Structure formats: C-alpha cells, structure tokens
C-alpha cells in the first residue's frame, strides 16, 4: 500500500479584460512558456490547463478560460462565467482606456456569477506589458493599491508576458487565495 492519495482540485479561473491587453499571451507564457509579438484576436473563448504540483499532498488543475476582449460587447459571458472560482482582470498599462474598462468587466462578472457561498468571485488585477512605458497614473503603485482596496480586488501585479515577469507569481498568488478561502 502507498501513502495517502493526493488531494486533487480543479479550479476554473477566468481571464478577462479588453481587446489586446495580453490575456492570451499571459496564458501562453504561463502554460506553454511561449510568447509571440503577433496579435490574433481570440474569438469567443479559448481554454488552457495548467497542472500544478502544489505540494507533496496536493495537485491542482487550473482551468484557464481565455475570454475574448470583444465579448464585452457580446452576450455570452454569463455562460462562460458559470462556476468560476476566481478571475484575473487584465489591462494594458500603456493604454489608459483598457484600465478604464476594468470596472465594466468587474461589474459584468459580479452581476453574473457568485461563489456557492454567495460571495463575489475573487479577482486579481494584472497590469500587463510592464516592459513598456506606462500611461499616466498607471505607473503609480499607491494609486493601484487604493483602487484595489476600494473596488474589492484581492491585489494587483505588474506583469509582462513578453519578458516573463510575475506570470507564475501572480497565478500562484491567486491559487493560494483560492485554497485559503475554499
């Protein structure tokens, strides 16, 4: 007989945010260690699975739902959001307009899905393309700190899918939060 069987978790995590902010690039970097400068807009939704050997006793399957930015104007998000346990909302720190859309995404999320206990789904904010010069306020960490506190995000990270900055760190932060709260 072997020791205790591993605990296994399947977590559905949404990755949302405006067109071209780097959602697909973030996921490709995280799951496939790959980056491309070429932009091909996601149509509808894409999926990726990251298997994490969290510790000796725990295996996590992170099911990442890569939702097209153009879905903000569509009517499918309610279907895509179903049974998600967490979300990453991504903006492009070189384009203020993508930050301005964050709350529209969060309101869409909170109005369409809740955790089984009735709480909103935990959301992590990602300021992607941090390898590039930032737009206005978006270079101010204390501005983002207070924005997160005020709007109910669990935190934020500067990320770069291009240079592989904080990609696995931010995902690990989110998983840790999920494990501690479920």
Binding site for ligand GTP (CB under 6 A): 19-25, 36-37, 39, 41-42, 68-69, 128-129, 131-132, 160-162
Nearer to ligand GTP among residue 30 and residue 153 (C-beta): 30
Dig out the tokens for 89 from the structure. 């909302």
Among ligand GTP, Mg ion, none, the one that 22 touches (CB under a kind-dependent 5 to 8 A) is ligand GTP
Dig out the tokens for 129 from the structure. 């393309």
Nearer to ligand GTP among residue 41 and residue 49 (C-beta): 41
Sequence-separated (6 or more) residues with CB below 8 Å from residue 143: 137
Dig out the tokens for 148 from the structure. 């997160």
Q: Interaction with Mg ion in 46-105: which residues (CB under 5 A)? A: none
State yes or no: residue 24 binds Mg ion (CB under 5 A). Answer: yes
DSSP state of 44: S
Rounded to a whole number of angstroms, the minimum distance from the CB of residue 15 to Mg ion is 9
| Binding-site member from 9, 31, 35, 42 for Mg ion (CB under 5 A) | 42
Element (H or E) spanning 72, and its range?
none
DSSP string, 49-69: EEEEEEETTEEEEEEEEEE-G
The window from 7-15, 40-48, 78-86, 119-127 that contacts Mg ion (CB under 5 A) reads 40-48
- Do 109 and 116 contact (CB within 8 A), yes or no? no
Kindly list the residues in this chain that would bind Mg ion in the complex (CB under 5 A): 23-24, 42
């Amino acid at each position: 007989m072997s020791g205790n069987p591993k605990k296994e978790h399947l977590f559905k995590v949404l990755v949302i945010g405006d067109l071209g902010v780097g959602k697909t690039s973030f996921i490709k970097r995280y799951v496939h260690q790959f980056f491309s400068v070429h932009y091909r807009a996601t149509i509808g939704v894409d999926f990726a699975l990251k298997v994490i050997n969290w510790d000796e006793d725990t295996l996590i399957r992170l099911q990442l739902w890569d939702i097209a930015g153009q879905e903000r104007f569509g009517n499918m998000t309610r279907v895509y959001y179903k049974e998600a346990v967490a979300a990453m909302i991504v903006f492009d720190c070189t384009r203020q307009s993508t930050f301005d859309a964050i709350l529209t995404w969060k309101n869409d999320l909170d109005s369409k899905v809740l955790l089984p206990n009735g709480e909103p789904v935990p959301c992590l904010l990602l300021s992607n393309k941090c390898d590039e010069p930032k737009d206005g306020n978006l270079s101010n960490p204390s501005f983002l700190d207070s924005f997160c506190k005020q709007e109910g995000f669990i935190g934020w990270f500067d990320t770069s899918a291009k240079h592989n900055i904080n990609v696995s760190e931010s995902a690990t932060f989110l998983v840790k939060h999920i494990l501690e709260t479920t």
